[in-house]
Amino acid sequence: MSILETKNLSLAYDKDKIIDNLDLKIPEGEITIFIGGNGSGKSTLLNSMARLLKPVEGSVELKGEDINQLSTKKVAKKLAFLPQSSTIPEGITVRKLVEQGRYPYQKWYQASSSEDHKIVEKVLKDTGLLEFANRDLSSLSGGQRQRAWLAMVLAQDTEIILLDEPTTYLDLSHQVDLLDLLYELNKKDQRTIIMVLHDLNLACRYADHIVAIKDKGVFAQGKPEEVIDEEVIKEVFDLNCQIVSDPVFGTPLCIPTGKNKKNKLNRAI
């Protein structure tokens, strides 16, 4: 049984179908990354898996159960989601935001437990936010705020984490830091991580499983070295490129060749 699976899934906004009759199984305990052009349906598919968008047809199943038939708290104990952008609550500190991730385990009449406090402190430490814990969230930089939102998701302590473009607003150094943290969580705790990334080279570096989305469905999927080649990039992104081996990690490395700027070889002719 797959941990998260779509069956005959069709998704639409108004009458425009974005995903059509999609069957997809997410490998348990691995990092799966969705890639594809703008408007291809990557985020739409992720929203459906997070139960934010109901299917027109078909279903999303969480461990064999239709996710749209489960209670909110039951889903929240199994699956956490970080969207592309979030509204900053007025006057909230980083610690208070991270504590919101513990809501699935609390009752309205009970204060936070010692276990809640322990998990919040660990997450603040793991994300490098302890020194900012009592700062107002709005006073932080975009990158620091992104880490705070991620910390809230991690405090939810779920076996599945969904992230829609989590490296948005981050410089390259913090992008790598965040992806390293997710990689460590995956390898240490066997958490299933599903995310959308635009950077193909980072996607290849961190993914166990890549899903390329095009024409309302899956164009290709598998290990990065099985999926990423010049033909797939041309079909999915309409981009001419060369694929070489990353000299550090051995994963596919996409070098766009473009259409106008001549490369060194052409300039030499």
Question: Which residue type, as a one-letter code, is found at position 59?
Answer: S
Q: What is the pLDDT of residue 9?
A: 97
66 has a pLDDT exceeding 80: yes
- Residue range 177-203, pLDDT digits in tens: 889 989 998 998 889 999 999 999 999
Q: Report the percent of the chain where pLDDT is more than 70.
A: 94
pLDDT at 173: 87
Residue 119 confidence (pLDDT): 93
Angle at 125 between CA 121 and CA 131, to 5 degrees: 95
The pLDDT value recorded for residue 169 is 75
Full 3-state SS string of the chain: CCCEEEEEEEEEECCEEEEEEEEEEECCCCEEEEEECCCCCHHHHHHHHCCCCCCCEEEEEECCEEHHHCCHHHHHHHEEEECCCCCCCCCCEHHHHHHHHHHHHCCCCCCCCHHHHHHHHHHHHHCCCHHHCCCEHHHCCHHHHHHHHHHHHHHCCCCEEEEECCCCCCCHHHHHHHHHHHHHHHHHHCCEEEEECCCHHHHHHHCCEEEEEECCEEEEEECHHHHCCHHHHHHHHCCCEEEEECCCCCCEEEEECCCCCCCHHHHHC
Percent of the chain's residues with pLDDT above 90: 72
Domains (ranges, CATH) in the chain?
Answer: 4-229 (3.40.50.300)
Q: With a cut of 80, say whether residue 252 has pLDDT above it.
A: yes
Q: What is the pLDDT of residue 269?
A: 46
> Pick from 178, 215, 217: which is nearest to 197 by CA?
178
For 15-37, b/e burial (b = at least 16 CB within 10 A) is eeebbbebebbbeeebbbbbbbe
pTM, rounded to two decimals: 0.90
Beta bridge partners of 241: 256
* pLDDT higher than threshold 70 for residue 147: yes
Q: Which residue has the tokens 């064999």?
A: 64
